Amino acid sequence: MRVLLVEDDDALADGIARALRAENFAVDVASNGEDGGHLGATERYDAAVLDLGLPKRDGISVLRDWRASGRDLPVLILTARDGWSDKVEGFKAGADDYLVKPFRIEEVVMRLRALVRRAAGHAAARIICGALAFDAQLGTFELDGLPLKLTAFEWRVLSALMLRKEVVIERADLIERVYEGDADVDSNSVEVIIGRLRRKIGAERIETVRGRGYRLTAGAS
C-alpha cells in the first residue's frame, strides 16, 4: 500500500511517516499544497493523508481539484480545525474521513487501513482466498491458520493482490504500490518479490498472466 502524506509540520509528518512505514506502508511526503496536489494528481496512491492549513495551497482546494479531475483515492483529512462547518466543508470537497489534531498515530494507521479496504470493495476486515487469510484492519496474514511472516515489500505486494484477489494486477501497478516515489527500482524487482512470495504461500497461488501482470487465486485446495 502506498500513501501520500501532505503535512507542513515536519515533526508531525516524520512521526506519521515512520509509523506508517513500520506498518509496511510506502509513504511519499509533501510539505505544501502545491507539491501535494501535483503528486496526488500524477502518481498512483492507495490513499492520501491531507492537512488543511498548508502553505502555497490549502488542503480544501487541493482536494477539490483531485475530485474535479476524477482522482478517487480515499482521503483522510488531518487538521486542527475542529468546527462543524470545517468538517462539512471537508466532506463536501470530497474527504472520506476526518481526524482532528491532536490524535494518536495508531488511529491514523487504522483509519487508513479501513479506507483502503473499503475502496477495494471489501466490507469485512477479514479477506479470504483459499487457505490464505488477510486481516486488512490489523494488517496480518495467515496461511492454513498460521501467521505468515513477510518483509515490508512482500507485504505490500501480497496485500495489493489480496485486496483484488482473482483480478489481474498489472506489473506497473504493483511497482507503484510497492515503492516510494524516490526509490531506485530495479527492472526485475517485482519478479523477485513474487518469487519469494511463491515460495512462502505456494507457487500455484500467484498466476502470471503474460503481457499483463499477476493474479492471486485460491490455488490448490
**pLDDT (0 to 100) of residue 135:** 96
> pLDDT tens string for the chain (221 positions)?
899 999 999 999 999 999 999 999 999 999 999 999 999 999 999 999 999 989 999 999 999 999 999 999 999 998 887 777 888 888 999 999 999 888 889 999 999 999 999 999 999 999 999 999 999 999 999 999 999 999 999 999 999 999 999 999 998 888 888 888 766 666 678 899 999 999 999 999 999 998 889 999 987 54
Domain ranges of the chain: 2-119, 126-216
- φ, ψ of residue 84 to 5 degrees: the values are -60, -40
pLDDT in tens, 145-183: 999 999 999 999 999 999 999 999 998 888 888 888 766
Contact 127, 163 (CB under 8 A): yes
Neighbours of 92 (CB within 10 A): 11
- Per the CB < 8 A criterion, the answer to whether 26 and 45 are in contact is no
Q: Say how far apart CA 161 and CA 155 lie, in whole Å.
A: 10
- Here the cell at position 138 is 490489523
Burial group, residue 66, by CB count within 10 angstroms (0-12, 13-18, 19+): buried
Kind plus residue range of the DSSP H or E element containing 21: helix 10-22
pTM, two decimals, is 0.89
CA distances 118 to 14, 47, 99, 161, 196, Å, are 26, 11, 18, 15, 28
Give strand pairing partners of 129.
132
> Which CATH architecture group holds 2-119?
3-Layer(aba) Sandwich (3.40)
CATH number of 126-216, picked from 3.10.560.10, 3.40.50.620, 3.90.1150.10, 1.10.10.10: 1.10.10.10
**pLDDT for res 221:** 45
Domains 2-119 and 126-216 share a fold: no
